[in-house]
Structure 1
Amino acid sequence: MEYVIVGNGVSAIGAIEGIRSRDQEGKIIVVSDEAVPTYGRPLISYYLADKIKLETMPFRPEEWYRRNKIEMKLASRVVKVDREAKKIVLQSGENLPYDKLLLATGGTPVTPGIMGVDGEGVYNFTTISHAEQLREIVDKVKSVAVIGAGLIALKAAEGFAEKGVPVSMIVRSRIMRAYFDEAASDMVVRHLEKHGLSFKQQANTRAIVRRDDGSVEGVDTDKGFVPADVVVVAAGVKPNKALAESAGLKVNNGIVVDDTLCTTDKDIFAAGDVAEALDILTGEYTVRPIWPNAYTQGRYAGMNMAGEEDHYSGGLSMNSITYYGLPTVAVGNSNPEIESGLEIHSQIDTEKSVYRKVVFEGDVLVGCILIGEIDHAGLYTSFIKNKFRLEPVAKQAIIDGDPNPVHWPEEYIQQMQNTP
């Protein structure tokens, strides 16, 4: 059996481990347009800030690739999937045949249509190569503007701030909007401001302003001008679905897959940030670009590519990050609309930077936000992921901040005890 994996993120690692759990001898080739093996993408801000070295970045050691008999084709771009001939075509002209193919092509930074965005002084921040570019200039930079409010934007800001560079974040709505409500966002912003970051919130970017020589002067917004000699654009990421689309596979927001991670071609699978896969809470198929989902999808895809039929139970929206010593966790439907009819309970201690919010749909916990005190995050997640129906006493314990395994269903506890 010949397996080809296009992409080299964490979903590729999951796929390799999934394949090797079923097939120890099949040939596995990994093709990536990046020049390095899989690495911890959330770590690139620490690399920019000189907190870690390049050699600490790989997600798996070289020996792991040797042990699993992986052939790597790095710095290699795939230009075509030929489904009829069952091969992929590289930009170099090389053809690679496959029996089973995994598209784990990830996402590409979104470039907003604003004046001045093209040209020197404007960067993205999603890969090691982006971090390398910024490392070359970080000691010369006087000030940075970051356009965006998500995890990538905050990691970029952190990397520069750790090097002592003044950073201004231009936020159209609020930070981490997909996970945080206003109370959570405001708490994190206040914490970050204490550590030197500046925020221009509720601001729309009009243009990146350039001098006559083309160098960046700053960013014009409807809330005023932000001076900067470097701009990082972190306005989101879109799935790299072009290969699948040109091959005639079904695509929507991402590559459409079933609960085995198989596409509309029985020999082609997709996983990670490019896959439109099952969501465990809603039962809908959607793109959830987070590491745990990507790895798990890759592992299920790998097992199924190797001939099994293991059904992916679904991904879960979650985020866990620490901002300058302030830990935060958001899981599930953590930020529902007021008119959703969901039951919401929250407690806040602004002075101590502690916030807890839990969201219920009837007697089922469907979401939570934890800031400052996150010791029980795993327990909250277990209730959400398993959609346990709660007795009134158990529900009240969760509202009071005391989730407890004693409130798990008996059959689940027995299953946990019987799991090797």
Structure 2
Amino acid sequence: MTQKLVVVGAGMASGRMLEHLIDGQPGDWDVTLFNAEPRGNYNRIMLSPVLAGDKTYEEIVTHDDDWYATRGVTCRFGEKVAGIDRAAKTVMAANGDVLPYDKLVLATGSNPFIIPLPGHDLGGVIAYRDLEDTERMMALAPGQKAVVIGGGLLGLEAAAGMAARGVEVTVVHIMGHLMERQLDEAAGFLLRRALMQKNITVLCSANSKEIVGENGQVRALVLDDGTELPCDLLVMAVGIRPNTALAQSAGLAVGRGIQVDDQMRTSDADVFAVGECVEHDGALFGLVAPLYDQAKVLAQTLMGEQAAFVQKSLSTKLKVTGCDLFSAGDFADGAGREDIVFRDPARGVYKRLVLEGNMVRGAVFYGDTADSSWFFGLIKDETDISEMRDTLIFGPAYQGGSAVDPMAAVAALPDDAEICGCNGVCKGQIVEAINGGAGDLGAVRAKTKASASCGTCTGLVEQVLALTLGDEFKMPAAQPVCGCTDLTHEEVRRLIKSQRLTSMAAVHQELGWKTSCGCHVCRPALNYYLLADWPLEYKDDPQSRFINERKHANIQKDGTFSVVPRMWGGMTTPNELRAIADAAEKYKVPTVHVTGGQRIDLLGVKGEDLPYIWADLNKAGLVSGHAYSKGLRTVKTCVGKEHCRFGTQDSSGLGIKLEKKLWGSWTPHKVKLAVSGCPRNCAEATCKDIGVVCVDSGYQIGVAGAAGMDVKETERLADVATEEEAIELATAFMQLYRENAKYLDRPYKWVAKVGLDWVKERVVHDLAERKRLVEAFELSQSIYRKDPWAEHARERAETYQPMADLTLEAAE
């Protein structure tokens, strides 16, 4: 007989519980799922990559609408449960609906702790817990200021994500070093240094005093020493508290969390709890691994199986802003304890083992965490390490005195060694799944969930596959473009060229697309590939572009738009500045911002005013800066030898020539460029997609730099003597990137795949190929180099003249 199950909270723990339950007893449960958020289960661990721009929300959705629909789950998203009547076994929704249950699961999660500082209730003071918080941070424009209170993992991820978007971020931490619960002082210092290299200001031993505001909005954080930190947004990331309000109002036993037994049962036999809201044997839980263990136990309990939740020793393997960290056990100093420490400053590697007698009691690694599972096993099993003490710090591959095949490190791991911390999957479970027929990474994920959450253990899972299958194992192929096809980006590009597929319909037909019109993931990619490969035959499809590209302006969080005119090489004139000032006044632009790319950003333009502000700016000779596009955006320059006593060449003049040569071309991702007039590098040319450093003998051309979530110095492409050669090489590189890169790969990611030598051979050494690349780029430019502002201003002004009249009247 079907039982009614009501679940309150659609987070990761309850989502995993439903997977186990529905897979184990399909059709036996009538499930109603409430969630205060207006959406279902998504991977909160991956909010940081969404904030940084590396992923979209759609990519981190765990259970979409179709998943719930096909499994018969009734979803009541955006609705809270107002109360529970345990005697009647009913729950009351906020709208007054009363629903009966046979079993009830509370997965109410946790609430972020907000420090009750004066001013904590001002607008712009937020926590970092959900998608809405992430979107608030994403809405900040480059150059705006944010303060993050809290130097733990969550706070640092928030800081790094905002910094990657050009926001000026300061982290305020009350303790003496960052992540003090997971890291010792030395590792905390290395992490702080790495963050500061990413332009994040870090203040440790800093105590917050009050938050001050203006017109109801946050203006600054004041520290107890009187320091004032201006900010447009203040993020508190100082911890969480179990959300027990609903359970408490229902009369359930509540301590620090909702108290549960080993079967995840509350003080009511028909009410269960799971996730961050629970308290088990006095412990609370914030990491995902124990939550998933709880979810499995709860599902088994509901299905009538014997199961018990057991708290396990936990290691912490983290990735903060590109820095690998590992912490396990107790690494505090104490009597009878000694350290083994390995430091490699050049590589940014630090390893510390804390020994007591002949056992490892704690471990802290920074920069190299490859052997962390092995070391965690030594701590957990209290292994006697006396015979390998001399080489212990070097890991399992060195036991015996010298390095051996790296695969030996995986072979040395015992079956109970944890491989996937998020899902609590050990080596033995993965081997069992492989022996049971899971022959690739996808199959192992499906059977065990290993590497299905944050993904940091993927390489280790693949090593277990290779070790278990031997010669039968093949490294996994690249991921397909999307669910519409089994083909990778690289395969699609090759087939478009080799089969002369010149339309979207032809690609769908000839390459066996599973849907006739594609999806939001593949359509923009196909549109770009066709446009780049067949400029004469293919016509750009605006509906296959992201909204910012369709609107020719960046949409803001309040529905207004950002307008950024192009300023060639960062240079401008009084007439252009007057035109911008006049436009800002005429269209009542609330914010005028100088960007890091030496341009002026008009923020808060109404959508209906876009064609008219474009037209006014066009009259002054200003064109779109393509701040919204996958194409050339900024060209940053210093003033060079014309004004600076250190300048060796006309850097601003070269920057203008490069920008006028390269603008308007669609590329796989945005491209930023800079020209510095001397090796002092004031224009920061050594961290751009293309960078030119002027020297006495000519020009040093660098490519594949980065200054966002990843910070990477450019690689030297060539040294040339003339401006003409510099422009030619930059153009050829741009076209090679256009013709070969995967859609949404920045140049540094593409060069890492193909190798700089491959790029040099075609751009620098093969003169005939260089000439072809330049000509191909110029052909594309002759077709697609248009100022979209001018084009759309004319079209919309002609079809919507009354608004133009209204705008003019308002200006008068």
Deviations 1:111-138 (Å, cap 9, x if unpaired)?
11111111112122110011223333x1
**Cα distance, 1:373 vs. partner?**
1.0
Aligned partners of 1:187 and 1:350 also within 8 Å: no
- 2:349 aligned with 1:347: no
Aligned twin of 2:366: 371
Alignment of 1:322-401 (within 5 A): 322-331=319-328, 333-336=329-332, 338-339=333-334, 344-359=339-354, 365-384=360-379, 387=381, 389-390=383-384, 392-393=386-387, 398-401=392-395
- Distance of 1:192 and 1:315 partners within structure 2: 32
Distance 2:67 2:391 in 1: 44
C-alpha separation in 2, matches of 1:29 and 1:365: 48
Name 1:280's counterpart in structure 2. Answer: none
1:175 aligns to 2:178 (yes or no): yes
Find the aligned partners of 1:257 and 1:342 in 2 and give their Cα distance: 37
- Give the AA of the match of 1:380: F
1:155 is paired with a residue whose SS is helix
1:247-269: CA deviation from partner (whole Å, max 9, x where unpaired) = 22222221121222222222222
- Once the 2 structures are TM-superposed, how far is the Cα of residue 381 of structure 1 from its aligned partner? 3.5
Asked if the contact 2:344–2:350 (Cα under 8 Å) also holds between the matched residues in 1, the reply is: yes
Matched, 1:228 2:223: no
Match of 1:14 in 2: 16
The answer to whether 1:199 aligns with 2:192 is no
Matched-pair contact (CA < 8 Å) for 1:141–1:229: no
Aligned pair 1:142/2:157, yes or no? no
Aligned equivalents of 1:226 and 1:187: distance in 2? 24
Contact preservation (8 Å) 1:108, 1:238: yes
Which deviations, in whole Å up to 9, do the C-alpha atoms of 1:129-154 show, x marking residues without a partner? 11223333x12762111111112211
Shift of 1:313: 2.5
Written as runs of structure 1 = structure 2, the 5 A alignment for 1:249-260 is: 249-260=252-263
Q: Give the CA deviation at 1:49.
A: 3.4
Amino acid at match of 1:379: W
Looking at secondary structure, tell me which structure has more helix per residue. 2
- Helix, strand or coil for the counterpart of 1:27? strand
Task: State the shift of 1:339 in Å.
Answer: 4.1
Q: 2:41 matched to which residue of 1?
A: 38
Moved more, 339-348 or 237-246: 339-348
Partner letter of residue 296 of structure 1?
D
Unpaired segments ≥5 residues, structure 1: 278-283
Look up the match of 1:281. none
Change (3 A) 1:383 1:103: farther
Q: 1:342 to 1:69 in 2, by over 3 A?
A: farther
- Higher CA-based Rg: 2
Change (3 A) 1:361 1:32: farther
Query: Per-residue deviation at 1:310?
Result: 0.7
Q: Is the 8 A contact 1:18 1:301 kept in 2?
A: no
Task: Give the C-alpha shift of residue 208 in structure 1.
Answer: 0.9
Let me know the Cα RMSD of the aligned residues: 2.8
Q: Secondary structure at the match of 2:74?
A: strand
Q: Cα–Cα, structure 1 residues 380 and 96, in superposed 2: closer, same or farther, change >3 Å?
A: farther
Q: In structure 2, how many angstroms separate the alpha carbons of the residues matched to 1:178 and 1:237? A: 15
What does residue 87 of structure 2 align with? 84
Q: More relative contact order in 1 or in 2 (CA 8 Å, sep 6+)?
A: 1
1:207-236 C-alpha deviation (Å, 9 max, x unpaired): 01223x333331111342222222111121
Which residue does 1:218 correspond to in 2? 220
Q: Is the CA contact 2:415–2:428 (under 8 Å) kept in the aligned structure 1?
A: no
| Structure 1 residues 318 and 389: CA distance shift in structure 2, 3 A | closer
| 2:305 aligned residue | 308
Single out whichever of 352-361 and 21-30 deviates more from structure 2. Answer: 352-361
Distance 1:210 1:407 in 2: 55
**For the residues of structure 2 that align with 1:62 and 1:341, how far apart are their CA atoms?**
57
1:367 CA displacement: 3.9
Q: Give the aligned partner of residue 96 of structure 1.
A: 99
CA contact 1:76–1:91 (8 Å) conserved in 2? yes
SS at match of 1:89: strand
Q: Secondary structure at the match of 2:179?
A: coil
Q: What secondary structure, in the 3-state scheme, does the structure 2 residue paired with 1:295 have?
A: helix
CA distance in 2, matches of 1:272, 1:370: 28
* Count of aligned pairs between the two proteins: 408
Q: What is the TM-score normalised by the length of structure 1?
A: 0.88
Aligned to 2:656: none
Q: Deviation string for 1:270-291 (max 9, x for gaps)? A: 11111123xxxxxx54112011
Show the counterpart of 2:579. none
What residue number does 2:155 align with? 153
Structure 1 residue 35: deviation in Å? 0.6
Q: Which deviates further from its counterpart, 150-159 or 317-326?
A: 317-326
1 CA distance for matches of 2:240 and 2:122? 20
Q: Deviations over 1:314-343 (max 9, x none)?
A: 244343332333211223x2444x348666
The AA in structure 2 aligned to 1:244 is A
SS at match of 2:246: helix
- CA displacement 1:176-206 (0-9 Å, x = unmatched): 2221121121111111111110011101100
Report how far residue 407 of structure 1 moved: 7.2
| Counterpart AA for 2:309 | Y
The equivalences for 1:278-317 within 5 A come to 285-317=282-314
CA contact (8 A) 2:128 2:158 kept: yes
What is the alpha-carbon distance in structure 2 between the residues aligned to residue 193 and residue 125 of structure 1? 21
Distance 2:396 2:115 in 1: 44
Rounded Cα–Cα distance in structure 1 between residues aligned with 2:259 and 2:123: 37
Structure 2: gaps (5+ residues): 398-408, 419-425, 437-812
Distance 1:148 1:113, change over 3 A: same
Q: Are the counterparts in 2 of residues 146 and 170 from structure 1 also a CA contact under 8 Å?
A: yes
What is the one-letter code of the residue matched to 2:156? L
Kept in 1: contact 2:142–2:165 (CA 8 A): no
C-alpha separation in 2, matches of 1:75 and 1:202: 40
In 2, the alpha carbon distance for the partners of 1:365 and 1:69 equals 50
Partner-residue secondary structure (3-state), 1:34: coil
Deviates most, 95-104 or 342-351: 342-351
Q: For the residues of structure 1 that align with 2:208 and 2:321, how far apart are their CA atoms? A: 27
Kindly state the Cα deviation for residue 380 of structure 1 after the two structures are TM-superposed. Answer: 2.9
Distance 1:144 1:406, change over 3 A: closer
Give 1:312 shift.
1.9
Match of 1:163 in 2: 165
- Aligned counterparts of 1:144 and 1:399: Cα–Cα separation in 2: 40
